[in-house]
């Protein structure tokens, strides 16, 4: 056993690059967390149709998505409900609202296509993201300011009795989380998205510079569920 601890918090992001929601439980399988990035906004970038992200359109952070009708483990990964989106002005739209695409296009300054894919659309296909509180706290100490965990778009945030950034050496290991077993894939190399404040979209480049200088631009580790299971906040965690 390399380390043990518990689940501090769980998070899902119904629409890629929009704000998400904390949850008390997640049903997971080999695709990832049920409902996580099951939707995305697509547009044309220089003749190529692809998903929009905060890298190109920081204003996406002004929008948030949630599944209020399926809290926690009530969400079936094979049949997640349509998400509810909330805009910067507080207006709410269901995913099938005919007015949603126009509202997004007007606010984001691009023609938007709404795409839903139950195979899920994380940056790394068929994966979850795990982060560790010791590393989070150490990075806050290094930069001498609080760091909102939402910047890193984690799915499972863990408290473990391991040194900060120890997870960078755990690729190929397995971790038990309650009734679930996860295969640890490889550390997560960060792009510029965490430099954007999740509430204001203000850029903080020093965050990425510090990760690059001292931590190989890594924060967190990607994982994949060995079998379908439900994980819950407070579950015991063991890294094998």
User: Which of 43-47, 97-101, 146-150, 162-166 is predicted with the least confidence, judged by mean pLDDT?
Assistant: 43-47
The reported pTM is 0.96
Using CA atoms, how far apart are residues 177 and 174, in angstroms rounded to an integer? 10
Of 40-54, 88-102, 206-220, 225-239, least confident by mean pLDDT is 40-54
46 falls in which pLDDT band (50, 70, 90)? confident
Query: CATH second-level architecture of 3-14+124-239?
Result: Beta Barrel (2.40)
| CATH 2.40.33.20 intervals, the chain | 3-14+124-239
Over 90: is that where the pLDDT of 213 sits? yes
Which pLDDT does position 45 carry in this prediction? Answer: 87
Between β-strands 156-160 and 128-132, what pairing exists: parallel, antiparallel or unpaired? parallel
Q: Please determine, for residue 78, whether its predicted confidence score (pLDDT) is greater than 90.
A: yes
CA distances from 53 to 6, 33, 40, 57, 237 (A): 31, 19, 9, 6, 32
């Amino acid at each position: 056993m390399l380390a043990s601890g518990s689940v501090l918090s769980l998070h899902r992001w119904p629409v890629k690059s929009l704000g998400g929601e904390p949850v008390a439980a997640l049903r997971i399988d080999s695709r990832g967390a049920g409902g996580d990035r099951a939707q995305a906004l697509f547009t044309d970038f220089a003749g190529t149709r692809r998903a929009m992200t905060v890298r190109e359109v920081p204003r996406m952070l002004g929008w948030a998505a949630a599944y209020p009708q399926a809290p926690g483990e009530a969400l079936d990964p094979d049949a997640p409900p349509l998400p509810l989106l909330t805009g910067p002005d507080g207006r709410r739209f269901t995913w099938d609202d005919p007015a949603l695409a126009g509202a997004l296009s007007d606010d984001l300054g691009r023609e938007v296509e709404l795409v839903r894919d139950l195979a899920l659309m994380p940056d790394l296909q068929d994966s979850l993201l795990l982060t560790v509180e010791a590393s989070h706290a150490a990075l806050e100490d290094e930069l001498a300011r609080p760091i909102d965990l939402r910047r890193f778009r984690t799915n499972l945030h863990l408290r473990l009795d391991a040194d900060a950034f120890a997870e960078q050496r755990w690729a190929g290991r397995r971790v038990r989380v309650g009734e679930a077993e996860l295969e640890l894939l490889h550390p997560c190399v960060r792009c510029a998205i965490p430099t954007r404040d999740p509430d204001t979209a203000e850029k903080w480049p020093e965050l990425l510079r510090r990760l690059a200088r001292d931590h190989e631009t890594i924060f967190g580790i990607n994982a994949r569920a060995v079998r379908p299971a439900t994980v819950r906040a407070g579950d015991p965690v063991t890294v094998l």
